[in-house]
Copies of this chain bind each other. A is one copy, B any other.
Amino acid sequence: MPEQEIIKDNTEEVEKMTLLVFAGDLDKILGAFIIATGAAAMDIEVRMFFAFWGLNALRREKCKTSRKDFLSRMFGWMLPKGANKLKLSKMNMMGLGTSMMKRVMKKKNVMSLPVLIKTAQELGVKFTACEMSMNIMGIGKEELLDGVKLAGVATALSEASESKTSLFIS
């Protein structure tokens, strides 16, 4: 009775979604979190894996770091520190476009990125930071938001492999 099994499969398992967040631009991170919170609200189990520039969205605004090596310090200093510092991928215009976008969002009652991130966490969205990217970009665990786990690409891939939908946000 293969029919029965199919039903078991469908009813027992929660639908899953994996977002591989590679980009670090305000607009793309907003898109990722709008998808994540939307899916979580639909009872989809959402896992976000942050790699490369995507890590910037998870950085704390103020944080002492213990970096000693020059190249890491350079990267750490140049990369935006957290959700409030991200810029638009287009039309940033020295910050004008970015601040315009933020004002429009506020006016139209769209949640800001920091609020979206908090909402995602409250809805049970899991955040994982890519260890290899942290290593390359010289970002330490103490610089990331609470509740972020570290893992390698194999973890992200096995999560993607269990997911109905996986999206690469670059």
* Residue ranges of A at the interface with B (Cβ–Cβ < 8 Å): 1-8, 10, 15, 20, 22-24, 27-28, 31, 34-35, 38-39, 41-42, 44, 51-53, 71-72, 74-75, 78-79, 90-91, 100-101, 103-105, 107-108, 110, 132, 135-138, 152-154, 157-158, 160-161, 163-170
Q: Which of B8, B39, B71 contacts A2 (CB 8 A)?
A: B8
Task: Give Cα A71–Cα B103 distance, bound, in whole angstroms.
Answer: 8
Task: Give Cα A34–Cα B71 distance, bound, in whole angstroms.
Answer: 22
Residues of B within 8 A of A90 (CB): 24, 53
Residues of B within 8 A of A166 (CB): 165, 167
Contact A161 B158 (CB under 8 A): no
Task: Give Cα A44–Cα B166 distance, bound, in whole angstroms.
Answer: 15
